[in-house]
Amino acid sequence: MCMNGRAGRVGNQASAGDLLELVRSGRATTRGALQQATGLSRATVGQRLDRLFRAGWLREGAGGPVDSPLGGRPSITLEFDDAHAVVLTADLDTRHARAAVLSLTGEILAEQAGLLVLGDGPDAVLGELGHWFAELLRKAGRPADEVCGIGLAVPGPVDRDTGRVVQPPIMPGWDGYDIRGRLGRAFAEHAHGRADVPVLVDNDANLMAYGEQRTAYPDCSAFALVKVSTGIGAGVVVGGTIYRGIDGGAGDIGHIRVPEGTDALCRCGSYGCLAAVASGGAVAARLAEAGVPAASGSDVRELLTAGHPEAVALAREAGRRVGDVLATVVTLLNPGVLMIAGDLAGTPFLTGVRELLYQRALPRSTAHLDVVTSRLGDRAGLIGAGALVVEHLYAPERVEERLLALGV
């Protein structure tokens, strides 16, 4: 899991949190390198590192390069100790969910997937997630008191400050619901953890983009991911940071109006949305009309995997419609990587996207663009949610707060 390279403070104002950030990012991994990066004295660096050692957040590794130009013994390297805590993550879709226990560096320690229907309402769904988390911790052999945070991906726009979804078209009954509080209580009830454990909630496409960019494209300064499942959404990572817009609504391209959808009623209540004609749900509806059993994007994925000819043809057509819209997106954002993910992210859909994207966008906009499919697959949202929690909890300013709370 790649870090975003936040510099924090340097010079004599550098805190223990800033030193930890330098070690985590790999920019300074010995005591001597930390002195050079911050200008702090050897004694001050030692005092601040001691706090991190006592908290269990740092460990000594093998000998590294010699710090002094005069030679001598190899210096001892410093490493972020990813074994001192774990993160719980979950990724909700309309009818399915996936959850996991992750190490602080993004390794999946235990994982579960299964049926979980958003339409059953937030109280039931989040309560069931509490059961899942308890079982996953048991499988991973980790106690609940080692959980430092929970990350949740949801298929709707999220207010970052409150963690509540805002008018989500495909999440009936979830608008404004206190997800953080309910999930914390479910974790406490079923896994016997802390009810006040930090819970971070974000849009699923945002977290998928964050996970994919951190893992495979850390040097890409403008990264865009389009998720095409039951609905359509996009996540954008610019300069290592998720771009959310003013109130979490950025990337909601499924509700851009398209000429082909004039008579198509979208789940948001409007006519003509891209999602109404080109999402997995829309393709499933057209297949059902033709007598092919399909009710969701996941059903379409199974048909595509089996090579069903009508599903293949409809997926390619949907890709062309999405590609037409993405020509505008690419012109506006000028990303280096455009990733197609979700239930429809196979060859037929991708072929359709490329056909229209390269036809409609200016050559200047696509000259340095890579159009790719997901590297992490169904795990992208989990990995992204874990990265979000870790970046939040181990940010320099928050490290200071947490060290004080620990009494070190």
Tell me: pLDDT of 249 over 60. yes
Structure confidence at residue 11 (pLDDT): 55
- Give pairs for 292-298: CB < 8 Å, separation 24+: 296/94, 296/95, 296/230, 296/343, 297/93, 297/94, 297/228, 297/229, 297/230, 297/342, 297/343, 297/344, 298/93, 298/95, 298/96, 298/229, 298/230, 298/343
243 with 273, same domain: the answer is yes
369 with 226, same domain: the answer is yes
Structural domain boundaries, residue 62: 11-80
Domain boundary among 53, 80, 107: 80
92 with 197, same domain: the answer is yes
Tell me: pLDDT of 8 over 60. no
Q: Say what percent of the chain tops pLDDT 90.
A: 87
- pLDDT tens for 15-73 read 999 999 999 999 999 999 999 999 999 999 999 999 999 999 999 987 655 555 545 55
- pLDDT tens for 130-189 read 999 999 999 999 999 999 999 999 999 999 999 999 999 889 999 999 999 999 999 999
Structure confidence at residue 1 (pLDDT): 37
278 with 372, same domain: the answer is yes
- pLDDT tens for 345-362 read 999 999 999 999 999 999
Tell me: pLDDT of 212 over 80. yes
What's the CA gap between 387 and 389, in Å, rounded? 5
273 with 366, same domain: the answer is yes
Domain tally, the chain: 3
Q: At a CB cut-off of 8 Å and minimum separation 6, what does 107 contact?
A: 82
- CATH code of the domain in which 149 resides: 3.30.420.40
**pTM of full prediction above 0.85:** yes
> Residue 4: inside a domain, yes or no?
no
> Residue 210: inside a domain, yes or no?
no
